Amino acid sequence: NAEQDLPFLHHPHPEPVAVDVRTAMLKNPGFGRVFTDHMVTIRWTEGRGWHDAQVRPREALTLDPANAVLHYAQEIFEGLKAYRTKDGGISLFRPEQNAFRFQASAERLAMPVLPVSTFLQAIEQLVKVDADWIPGGEGSLYLRPFMFANEAFLGVRPSSEYLFVVIASAVGAYFKGGKKAISVWLSEHYTRSAAGGTGAVKCGGNYAASLIAQAEASRNGCDQVVFLDSKDHRWVEELGGMNIFFVFEDGSLVTPPLSGTILPGITRASLISLARSEGREVREERYGIDQWRADAASGKLREAFACGTAAVISPIGEIKSTGGDFTIGDGSSGPVTEALKAKLVGIQRGEIADENIWVRKI
């Protein structure tokens, strides 16, 4: 297969960031602000397919003002992390799952499908060339593969050219100060996605549409927004950038089902199988906001947490809404949340046996 053997041309950065400057930048990177020296780019042209794969110095891209992506937002992305393991190696967590989801996103947005092997190769090449940017401790290298229409044309149809890019960002905790428990704002007016829409894929447009609700959450002192379904405005779906789990007094867990309107998170899928392998019951079923409120009040609901690549596992302590605020448990993290987090992070960082063969060493 010619596509699987796509040759990558290497253009090392002539002036990479100096070691002492990099060390200072890696001390407290925050999230999504500190970028590495290189990027990967691959082009796609109708009639020719994927070509011109390069590992090159990270720099600004030049776009024609008529570029279709600037008008109709034909853009998709992924997010995954590279970890520095105890033995000094580098690992990725289920990167082929990101490759598959990227393919699903491409199909939904009428874009060309990147072969899984090319996706993985692009990631590995970038991680290798910028390996010195992987922070130590609890930090990681957040990888952001994305693809966008790259044709100067104002008609509304799929573009005839695309650019696939991977950039990397050294990151620490997603939530400022690595808070113990986050607070979420219930979006009663805005929904994230509807049946038949793009909610189950990772396109920039989903996030553009969620920003006003996230801003409302911030104004109300909350870390994240939680969305309800668009039909009944009742069933909990997910957060702006994370899936959600509920933990009950009998030790069982509930997470909203993959109804087509939420993102099928890789962290979500991994936690379902980790929890089940520990003998816990996990139900993928609808959970209403009225029930959430009632179960929190009665104490039947013991814990709730958000999960995703950026957020890892973040306990949810408080829910705020125009209909009144409520707290889960004592408003801090709980034992099931902490145990699942320790297990997941342990596997990702090579400190716990990887029985499912989820970790891919670079």
Binding site for ligand PLP (CB under 6 A): 79, 238, 241-243, 263, 265-268, 308-309
Q: Which residue is nearest to ligand COI (CB)?
A: 79
Look at the block and give the residue holding tokens 């799929």: 158
| In the block, residue with structure tokens 């929904």 | 191
Is 55 a binding residue for ligand COI by CB under 6 A? The answer is no
Distance CA 261, CA 238 (A): 9
Residue type at position 353: A
Q: Which stretch binds ligand COI (CB under 6 A): 48-56, 92-100, 287-295, 305-313?
A: 305-313
Separation of alpha carbons 224 and 184, rounded Å:
5
> Of 127, 140, 145, 98, nearest to 38 (Cα)?
127
Hey, CA dihedral for 184, 257, 297, 181, is it positive or negative?
negative
Give the relative orientation of helices 95-108 and 266-277 as an angle to the nearest 10 degrees: 130
Q: Please identify, using beta-carbon distances, which residue of 50 and 148 lies nearer to ligand PLP.
A: 148
CB of 265 to ligand PLP, least distance (A): 3
Nearer to ligand COI (CB atom), residue 95 or residue 241 = 241
Residue 50 or 305 having the CB closest to ligand PLP = 305
SS3 30: coil
Beta-bridge partner residues of 142: 81, 169
Query: Which run of H or of E encompasses 361?
Result: strand 359-361
Number of residues that bind ligand COI (CB under 6 A): 5
Exactly one of 172, 199, 308, 317 binds ligand COI (CB under 6 A); which one?
Answer: 308
Q: Which does 243 bind (CB under 5 to 8 A by kind): ligand COI, ligand PLP, none?
A: ligand PLP
Cβ atoms of 302 and 249 within 8 Å: the answer is yes
Rank residues 111 and 310 by Cβ distance to ligand COI and give the closer one: 310
Range 10-13, long-range pairs (CB < 8 A, 24+ positions): 10/54, 10/55, 10/125, 10/129, 11/54, 11/55, 11/56, 11/57, 12/38, 12/57, 12/129, 13/37, 13/38, 13/57, 13/58
Sequence-ordered strand ranges (E) for 178-311? 182-187, 224-228, 236-239, 243-248, 253-255, 282-284, 301-308
C-alpha 312/C-alpha 222 separation (Å) is 18
Could you give the string, one character per residue 218-247, with x where binding to ligand COI holds by CB under 6 A and - elsewhere?
A: -----------------------x------
Residue 310, C-beta contacts closer than 8 angstroms, at least 6 positions apart: 31, 79, 142, 171, 174, 241, 242
112 binds ligand COI (CB under 6 A): no
Residue 129 in tokens: 């060339």
CB of 11 to ligand COI, least distance (A): 27
Stretch touching ligand COI by CB under 6 A, among 53-61, 126-134, 304-312, 327-335: 304-312
Binding-site member from 16, 29, 79, 350 for ligand COI (CB under 6 A):
79
CB of 68 or CB of 171, closer to ligand PLP: 171
Q: In the complex with ligand COI, which residue's Cβ is closer, 145 or 350? A: 145
67 half-sphere exposure, CB direction, 13 A CA radius: 16
Q: Which does 265 bind (CB under 5 to 8 A by kind): ligand PLP, ligand COI, none?
A: ligand PLP
**Out of ligand PLP, ligand COI, none, which partner does residue 272 contact, by CB within 5 to 8 A per kind?**
none
Q: For ligand PLP, give the closer residue by CB, 36 or 210.
A: 210
Residue 211 beta carbon to ligand COI: minimum distance, rounded to whole angstroms: 11
3-class DSSP state for residue 202?
coil
For residue 279, what are its two tokens? 């003998």
Candidates 169, 309, 333, 337; binder of ligand COI (CB under 6 A) is 309
Closest approach of Cβ 214 to ligand COI, in Å?
9
Q: Which is nearer to ligand COI, 138 or 249 (CB)?
A: 138
Of 163, 266, 272, 310, which lies in the binding site for ligand COI, with binding defined by CB under 6 A? 310
Toward ligand PLP, which CB reaches closer, 172 or 308? 308
Rounded Cα distance, 89 and 61, in Å: 32
Binding site for ligand COI (CB under 6 A): 79, 241, 308-310
